[in-house]
């Protein structure tokens, strides 16, 4: 007696009927036998006469192994439980394990396919936000890319196409969130650009300030070096003039001044200091001789003449007017107190015998 199941047909043939017509597996069918001990087994060939005679099957199951299409729609959750993806599935399945199908008494393979596909879709879809429907769809397609996908009760998917979509309210909500996200990104970009410009301006100002500081420092150092060099040159010049003056080489001094006219005032002062030393020395010596009475009457006139010449030379001669004759000046002009002749003629102090002629 045959069952109403369109995928599995059960018969309980007699030994005679099996010997007359033994079941033969086909391209889209398989045969499963139930022996006397209650065990199921499948054969991809007809039973032999001996198998029929010695171990007559209690039942024979003819299983439909053809490929069957199925189309269905369902909703699967997004990462946010408040939102769901609308899913359309177009799948093809077949029984690849006839014995398992018979053993599980497969009666509703469409339900097996739907529940198996939905379980896999929900696991994948929960990893994606509602805005990322395209990415979720690609992940689902990648999951079903390798066929067959084994389900339960001997069924396997041989092909599965899944497409995701959003309902109207969800689309509107996603559009609003997308616009808000873009606006935030735009504001963030503007803010980062402003910060970058500010930082660059600050760095540029700092670099400019550093450059100006370095330039000012360099200018100060250059000015200090120039001043130091100028002083060194002036010191060298004065040393040269002083040495030439001490050696009496006035022509060399004049030659040097012809190319260094700025040194004239300093050289004049140098000459004046030198003349001052000569003058002060002569005056001091004469006063000392007179105060200590180390001269006699014959020496006084000669010493006075020489001292007067030094004083006059100091008072009237220019440094380079060496050939001009000296003008005699009275000793009082140089601050030298002339000795009182009566002092030397006073018999109480000196007499003619005390002044020996040299």
**Hey, which residues does 165 pair with through a beta bridge?**
86
Do residues 136 and 124 lie in contact, with contact meaning Cβ atoms separated by under 8 Å?
Answer: yes
On the question of pLDDT at 165 being above 60, the answer is yes
4: phi then psi, degrees, rounded to nearest 5? -85, -5
Same domain, 330 and 311: yes
Q: Please indicate, yes or no, if residue 17 is contained in any of the structural domains.
A: yes
State residue 216's pLDDT score. 92
Do residues 42 and 66 lie in contact, with contact meaning Cβ atoms separated by under 8 Å?
Answer: no
Q: Please indicate, yes or no, if residue 56 is contained in any of the structural domains.
A: yes
Task: Report residue 19's pLDDT band, with 50, 70 and 90 as the boundaries.
Answer: confident
Q: Please indicate, yes or no, if residue 231 is contained in any of the structural domains.
A: no
Query: What is the SS3 assignment for 320?
Result: coil
CA distance linking residue 88 with residue 176, whole number of Å: 25
CA distances for 257 relative to 187, 232, 267, 319, angstroms: 78, 17, 9, 13
State residue 208's pLDDT score. 92
Same domain, 60 and 94: no
| Displacement of CA 253 from its chain's centroid (Å) | 65
Same domain, 330 and 269: yes
Task: Report residue 177's pLDDT band, with 50, 70 and 90 as the boundaries.
Answer: confident
Q: How many CB atoms lie within 10 A of CB 31?
A: 22
Same domain, 319 and 262: yes
Task: Report residue 303's pLDDT band, with 50, 70 and 90 as the boundaries.
Answer: low
Do residues 85 and 75 lie in contact, with contact meaning Cβ atoms separated by under 8 Å?
Answer: yes
**Which of the residue ranges 82-91, 209-218, 256-265 would you say has the lowest mean pLDDT?**
256-265
Do residues 337 and 331 lie in contact, with contact meaning Cβ atoms separated by under 8 Å?
Answer: yes
Choosing from 166, 191, 220, the residue where a domain stops is 166
Convert the pLDDT of each residue in 121-160 to its tens digit.
Answer: 999 999 999 989 999 999 999 999 999 999 999 999 999 9
Nearest by Cα to 76 from 164, 13, 15: 164
Residue entry with tokens 């030198």: 274
- CATH number for the domain harbouring residue 114: 3.30.479.30
CA distances for 165 relative to 74, 168, 322, angstroms: 11, 10, 121
Same domain, 28 and 41: yes
CA distance linking residue 298 with residue 80, whole number of Å: 137
CA distance linking residue 115 with residue 279, whole number of Å: 133
Q: Please indicate, yes or no, if residue 172 is contained in any of the structural domains.
A: no
* Dihedral in degrees, nearest 10, Cα atoms 215, 217, 223, 226: -100
Domain count, the chain: 3
Q: Please indicate, yes or no, if residue 160 is contained in any of the structural domains.
A: yes
- Range of 338's domain? 257-354
Same domain, 43 and 100: no
Percent of the chain with pLDDT over 70: 69
Same domain, 273 and 340: yes
Same domain, 114 and 77: yes
Choosing from 166, 199, 223, the residue where a domain stops is 166
Q: Please indicate, yes or no, if residue 201 is contained in any of the structural domains.
A: no
Q: Please indicate, yes or no, if residue 342 is contained in any of the structural domains.
A: yes
On the question of pLDDT at 38 being above 80, the answer is yes
Same domain, 79 and 30: no
Convert the pLDDT of each residue in 221-278 to its tens digit.
Answer: 999 999 988 888 878 877 877 777 777 666 766 766 666 666 677 777 767 776 666 6
Do residues 75 and 84 lie in contact, with contact meaning Cβ atoms separated by under 8 Å?
Answer: yes
Do residues 307 and 330 lie in contact, with contact meaning Cβ atoms separated by under 8 Å?
Answer: no
**Which of the residue ranges 73-87, 117-131, 325-339 would you say has the lowest mean pLDDT?**
325-339
Choosing from 117, 141, 166, the residue where a domain stops is 166
Same domain, 37 and 109: no
Q: Please indicate, yes or no, if residue 133 is contained in any of the structural domains.
A: yes
Same domain, 118 and 88: yes
């Amino acid at each position: 007696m045959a069952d109403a199941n369109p995928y599995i047909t059960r018969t309980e043939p007699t030994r005679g009927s099996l010997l007359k017509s033994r079941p033969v597996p086909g391209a889209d069918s398989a045969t499963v036998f139930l022996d006397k001990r209650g065990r199921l087994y499948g054969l991809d060939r007809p039973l032999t006469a001996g198998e029929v005679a010695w171990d007559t099957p209690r039942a024979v199951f003819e299983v439909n192994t053809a490929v069957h299409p199925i189309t269905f729609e369902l909703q699967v959750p997004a990462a946010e439980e408040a939102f769901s993806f609308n899913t359309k599935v177009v799948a093809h399945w077949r029984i690849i394990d006839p014995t398992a199908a018979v053993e599980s008494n497969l009666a509703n393979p469409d339900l097996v396919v739907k529940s198996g596909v939905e379980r896999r879709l929900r696991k994948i879809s929960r990893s994606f936000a509602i805005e990322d429907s395209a990415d979720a769809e690609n992940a689902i397609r990648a999951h079903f890319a390798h066929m067959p996908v084994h389900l339960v009760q001997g069924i396997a998917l041989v092909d599965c196409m899944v497409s995701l979509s959003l309902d109207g309210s969800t689309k509107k909500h996603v559009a609003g969130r997308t616009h808000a996200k873009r606006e935030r990104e735009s504001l963030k970009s503007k803010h980062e650009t402003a910060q970058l410009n500010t930082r660059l301006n600050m760095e540029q100002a700092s670099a400019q300030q550093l450059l100006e500081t370095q330039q000012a420092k360099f200018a100060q150092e250059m000015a200090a070096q120039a001043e130091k060099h100028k002083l060194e040159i002036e010191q060298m010049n004065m040393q040269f003039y002083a040495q030439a003056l001490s050696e009496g080489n006035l022509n060399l001094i004049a030659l040097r001044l012809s190319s260094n006219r700025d040194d004239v005032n300093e050289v004049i002062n140098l000459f004046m200091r030198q003349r001052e030393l000569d003058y002060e020395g002569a005056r001091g010596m004469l006063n000392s001789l007179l105060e200590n009475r180390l001269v006699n009457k014959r020496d006084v006139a000669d010493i006075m003449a020489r001292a007067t010449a030094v004083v006059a030379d100091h008072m009237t001669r220019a440094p380079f007017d060496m050939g001009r004759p000296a003008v005699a000046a009275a000793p009082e002009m140089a601050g030298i107190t002339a000795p009182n002749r009566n002092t030397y003629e006073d018999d109480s102090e000196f007499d003619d015998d005390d002044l020996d002629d040299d």
